[in-house]
């Protein structure tokens, strides 16, 4: 059984929030206000621009410019070209394996960043839901502990009366005082923890009310798949594993491109320039022409390139590291899913034991209440039974929360959180 207890939302945010904050609403607000998601979107945008920058080398590129310089002798620029009043250059890579490999690697890493956005989204959802459920459990526990406080006080007062009448030893008062103090200690601990969780939930959702009110809601987190089916789901849907696969393909493209560096590269080039007689072209050339156009293909054939060999070796080592990392992630994920599935079954069994113990404690309270009404049991026995029932309630809430957290982790690793929070 998946259930949560009440949380309320801020009058300061929207009027409808005053009715309470559901878990779905909390997740929606957290996704809307998350700084981590904003950073992940920025990183994805950077990855997209990186792909565009790499692709631009295979698209037309025009350059123009002018300048002035003193020449003595044959007119030429420091680069060896003829000085011109105006020039326009054109270059476009047609065949360049290293650049093509970099482009394909950038495209794969763009997918890595897209998956990173999904991963961050899942982390925000998990953190919000965990905080919400833990706060809900704390609120419910606090109500039970306050009932324990009343029972402890009744037992203490009853014991004092018995001591006054000479029916009990004074040490029994001390025992009752210790029990009451322990209840106060637990209340203080839960109240402090709830304040921290409430502040965390406010920070995640951007809500600033006087007090959050939780709304009961059920989430479909029951998993009925077998362990092999869960492992297959994780291998298929886990975001971290998909990122490692894309990174492996990126490094494969990089290696393929670097190996292509041993082949010739081909660029389409062109240049238009306007020359001037100020450069004394007529003294060095038999015929002066003001407008000049050159258009053709430039082929660079590598004879020996130490840089290419070093780049290939580097790409090979990076690819080997990526393969090892992928295998490690796949193995770790398989082990983790099996561990989480076992933990979920164990938590479910513990929850069932806690439910039955709670049922037994409730029946014991009803039995003692009937005896008390008949005058066959005293108030202390009845209140102690109620204290025991409250303790069983608290134990049940703990096991229920453990089960919920185990299911959440299992859904995260198998990539199914998006089905609950689309």
| Residues 47-63: tens digit of each pLDDT | 999 999 999 999 999 98
pLDDT the model gives residue 225: 84
Give me 201's structure tokens.
């939930």
pLDDT the model gives residue 79: 65
Distances (CA, A) of 60 to 57, 88, 94, 298, 307: 8, 13, 10, 15, 27
Q: Round to whole Å and give the CA distance between 107 and 97.
A: 15
Residues 6+ apart with CB under 8 A from 130: 405, 408
pLDDT the model gives residue 417: 84
Give me 64's structure tokens.
């123009």
* Torsions phi, psi for 240 (to 5 deg): -60, -40
CB 204 within 8 A of CB 30: yes
pLDDT the model gives residue 102: 94
Distances (CA, A) of 109 to 42, 119, 131, 240, 321: 14, 15, 32, 13, 16
Q: What is the pTM of this model?
A: 0.82
What is the tens place of the pLDDT at every residue in 326-383?
999 999 999 999 999 999 999 999 999 999 999 999 999 999 999 999 988 888 889 9
Rg of the chain on CA atoms, in Å: 37
Q: Round to whole Å and give the CA distance between 49 and 70.
A: 42
Q: How many Cα atoms within 13 Å fall on the side-chain side of residue 201?
A: 30
Topology of the domain covering 15-417: Outer membrane efflux proteins (OEP) (1.20.1600)
pLDDT the model gives residue 80: 64
pLDDT the model gives residue 117: 95
CB 173 within 8 A of CB 156: yes
Residues 6+ apart with CB under 8 A from 3: 216, 217, 218, 400
Regions of the chain where pLDDT drops below 50? 1-18
């Amino acid at each position: 059984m998946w259930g949560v207890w009440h949380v309320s939302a801020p009058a300061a945010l929207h009027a409808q929030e005053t009715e309470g904050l559901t878990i779905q609403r909390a997740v929606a607000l957290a996704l809307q206000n998350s700084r981590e998601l904003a950073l992940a979107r920025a990183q994805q945008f950077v990855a997209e621009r990186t792909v565009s920058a790499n692709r631009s080398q295979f698209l037309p590129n025009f350059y123009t410019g002018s300048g002035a310089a003193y020449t003595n002798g044959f007119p030429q620029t420091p680069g060896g070209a003829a000085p011109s009043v105006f020039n326009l250059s054109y270059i476009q890579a047609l065949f360049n394996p290293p650049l093509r490999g970099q482009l394909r690697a950038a495209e794969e890493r763009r997918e890595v960043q897209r998956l990173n956005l999904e991963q961050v989204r899942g982390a925000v959802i998990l953190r919000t839901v965990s905080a919400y459920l833990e706060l809900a459990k704390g609120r419910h526990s606090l109500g039970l502990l306050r009932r324990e406080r009343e029972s402890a006080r009744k037992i203490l007062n009853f014991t004092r009366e018995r001591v006054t009448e000479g029916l009990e030893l004074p040490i029994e008062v001390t025992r009752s005082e210790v029990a009451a103090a322990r209840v106060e200690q637990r209340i203080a601990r839960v109240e402090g923890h709830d304040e921290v969780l409430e502040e965390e939930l406010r920070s995640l959702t951007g809500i600033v009310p006087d007090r959050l009110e939780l709304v009961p809601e059920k989430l479909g987190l029951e998993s009925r798949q077998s362990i092999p089916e869960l492992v297959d789901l994780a291998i298929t849907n886990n975001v971290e594993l998909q990122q490692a696969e894309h990174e492996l393909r990126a490094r494969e493209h990089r290696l393929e491109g670097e190996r292509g560096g041993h082949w010739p590269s081909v660029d389409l080039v062109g240049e238009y320039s306007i020359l001037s007689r100020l450069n004394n072209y007529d003294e060095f050339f038999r015929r002066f022409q003001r407008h000049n156009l050159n258009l053709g293909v430039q082929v660079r054939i590598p004879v020996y390139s130490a840089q290419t060999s070093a780049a290939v070796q580097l790409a090979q080592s990076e690819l080997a590291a990526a393969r090892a990392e992928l295998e490690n992630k796949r193995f770790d994920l398989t082990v983790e899913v099996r561990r989480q599935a076992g933990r979920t079954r164990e938590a479910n069994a513990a929850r069932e034991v806690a439910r039955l113990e709670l049922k037994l404690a409730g029946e014991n309270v009803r039995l003692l209440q009937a005896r008390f009404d008949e005058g066959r049991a005293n108030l202390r026995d009845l209140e102690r039974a109620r204290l025991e029932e409250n303790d069983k309630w608290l134990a049940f809430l703990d096991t229920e929360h453990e089960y919920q957290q185990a299911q959440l982790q299992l859904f995260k690793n198998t990539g199914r959180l998006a089905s609950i929070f689309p």
